[in-house]
Structure 1
């Protein structure tokens, strides 16, 4: 029998059979025990159960406290709030600019090391740059798709843009320490400094020749033909002035036993030399492109003229071309008028052959043909836009860089479309530079090409005022990603 109680606290008996069988041999004598003994025994089981429950609870509590004090994994935090669409868009744009700057700076410094040590020595770092370029190219393609259809694009596109840019930067960051060990500038600056000085002297000669070349272009072609490189000789000279200061101070610091400061100035000088070379190369490239375009114009005119004649015959015969007869007839008239105007300009005297090819291509597409020389025009426009972005990257934003990347991607697929993207990229880049202005204008410590070095992204951020007399504008960029590219900071 188990003890029980009623609502009025009177005892009652529950037969054992209700909860289990009695032990063998039991005669029920325990039930006849005195009431006092039964009453005391009735408290044993409840008290034991209660005591066990309290002990188990106390042990569990103590164990949880001890586990909480000794755990090594962080306590779960509430999920961070997702950025809004405009915030994510700004983050994607910023990531594209940062990754593009890292790739460009890494490529520039890699060129100096390869020129000194050879391609085999820098092969792992060349591969790292190519990997970063591929990731960045994919990110720019995603950005172009996003810009083309912003209402249909998803947040996942922006997330992937950021992720690819981060991946590109991490690969370059991972190679930065090995790259520094290869250069070993703090241990021996002599070879690197001598190599930079040789490139500087060669470039000084080429810059003078580029000035004379621009003067000749003015006589051979219309003024608009050289507009894309106007001012580039002066900008090359500005970068060379800055490089002169950097090379001199690098050698002085090395002679004084200050290797960190010497490396600081050498890297700044190398960046300026690389950009001066871009300016001069742009002039030489334009000269070659104009000469090739001038030779291609007559053939392109004949090719499109033949296409116009064939189209007119189809109009007369009424044969189908997938284009309404009236529309095709209008295309033919427009093409013949444009071709006649180009022939007249070419015969009249100096003209712009690249622009002439561009106009021929514009009227040829509706006739179902595109001259092969259009690729020459597109490549020239893309090279010019790339040079401008690279030498003004301290001010150029993501939109111009995205259009440039799209122009590069389309060069072999659709040259006419690539040309349009390249022209748009240059237009947007120039707009960004105008909006940026010159924050260093008028300051006496920025008279030796520093403003151009900041605009060109050679120098990153601001240095303390105490360093102004030696190098102003910021730390020079180096091979690496966002986490390492500014490691050549102010020397101690």
Structure 2
């Protein structure tokens, strides 16, 4: 038995060591899982900041409608303070969206920065919402104490008649668009028209109810109907505006395509001369491939039939960009500047078109669209302004392309939020 004692002791020590190592490994695994769970869970402040942004954005949009209504009832002088408060709220919301963009971008931020920026976002957004909501409430109260309901009802009826005429024109516009463009180009104009019809129907009902109530009762009893009619008319206006905006955007895209096509032949001729006397074989290959790609897009642009000019413009701009890049790598900086100037106009039109489309979509769905989509849209708008004011055409083109990317992201996020 004494001879076996060292063996037994060795076995015991081995078991203890194995158990210790096993527990240590298990502990590291558990800690790693916990760290991954914590890293994947959004910070509560970030979530609440997003809610604040959505609420403020919707409150300001509603405030714009309310200010229009107040102007029709009370005039510019009595609504001056409302306009000032609304402008200040818009400026604060713009700052909040900018901070949210800093949180969402790929640049690493410290925990202190994230915490402080989130606090500022909530403060700015909540302050903007509360100030506009308070002004809206004060004008609601003012309406209940004023005897201007008959005049307001007359204004609403006139607006209803005008919008009914616009609705007919909108239907004609859609019919014309269908003869010229693919369904992918037209977008949501059918849904816009249907929503406008529903809003006009609601407005008609509210106006009729207000008319009946005004004949039988006192002013305060018709305030809600008047407000409902005004809100419905605002919805109809926005949806009919969206149809006109899409028509104008597609026309602008076609004009930009024609302009790019005019410049493309000169760009290809210059690229061919460079390709035939390249600084190195790789440059010749890159320039040749870019020429072939652009020629392919030019051939597609010359095709007849129904088209999607916005998509065609995007492809043509992309092909022009690739040729510019290929030429720039084998040519001096001045040639690259000239190429950027040629492509910049189309890129700006494309960015404006995408921003306008997603703006109309968010305006049409309001509470259904979350903070991420709105933040991307705000960033796209900011990038577009920077591109328009940038003196260097190369830098301006890069910024315009970022605006396009942010606008596409905003559209995808908005449609995801609404199930579209």
Shift of 1:288: 2.1
Change (3 A) 1:421 1:119: farther
Q: Say if 2:416 is the partner of 1:431.
A: yes
Looking at structure 2, the residues matched to 337 and 260 of structure 1 have their Cα atoms a distance apart, in angstroms, of: 67
Q: 2:173 is matched with which residue?
A: 213
Instruction: Tell me how large the CA RMSD over aligned residues is.
Output: 2.7
Q: 2:296 is matched with which residue?
A: 340
Q: 2:123 is matched with which residue?
A: 163
Change (3 A) 1:332 1:144: farther
Unaligned runs of 5+ in 2: 1-40, 325-335, 388-398
Shift of 1:306: 3.4
Q: 1:409 is matched with which residue?
A: 382
Q: Say if 2:339 is the partner of 1:354.
A: no
Q: 2:247 is matched with which residue?
A: 287
Q: 1:46 is matched with which residue?
A: none
Looking at structure 1, the residues matched to 95 and 300 of structure 2 have their Cα atoms a distance apart, in angstroms, of: 44
**Could you tell which deviates more after superposition, 408-417 or 172-181?**
172-181
Q: 1:375 is matched with which residue?
A: 348
Cα pair 1:185 1:263 within 8 Å, conserved: no
Shift of 1:291: 2.2
Shift of 1:303: 2.6
Unaligned runs of 5+ in 1: 1-83, 436-492
Change (3 A) 1:336 1:278: farther
Match of 2:43 among 70, 78, 86: 86
> Over alpha carbons, which structure has the higher Rg?
1
Q: Which has the higher contact order (CA 8 A, sep 6+)?
A: 1
Cα pair 2:63 2:136 within 8 Å, conserved: no
**Could you tell which deviates more after superposition, 136-145 or 177-186?**
177-186
Looking at structure 2, the residues matched to 429 and 117 of structure 1 have their Cα atoms a distance apart, in angstroms, of: 36
Secondary structure, counterpart of 1:392 in structure 2? helix
Cα pair 2:268 2:291 within 8 Å, conserved: yes
Secondary structure, counterpart of 1:350 in structure 2? coil
Please give the residue correspondences for 1:237-386 in structure 2 after superposition, counting only pairs within 5 Å: 237-311=197-271, 313-314=273-274, 317-318=277-278, 326=282, 329-330=285-286, 333-334=289-290, 336-366=292-322, 367=324, 368=336, 369=340, 370-386=343-359
Looking at structure 2, the residues matched to 325 and 148 of structure 1 have their Cα atoms a distance apart, in angstroms, of: 39
Shift of 1:318: 4.6
For these two proteins, the number of residue pairs brought into alignment is 348
TM value normalised by structure 2: 0.74
Shift of 1:185: 6.3
Secondary structure, counterpart of 1:269 in structure 2? helix
Shift of 1:216: 1.2
Match of 2:135 among 167, 175, 179: 175
Shift of 1:339: 4.2
Secondary structure, counterpart of 1:394 in structure 2? helix
Q: 2:160 is matched with which residue?
A: 200
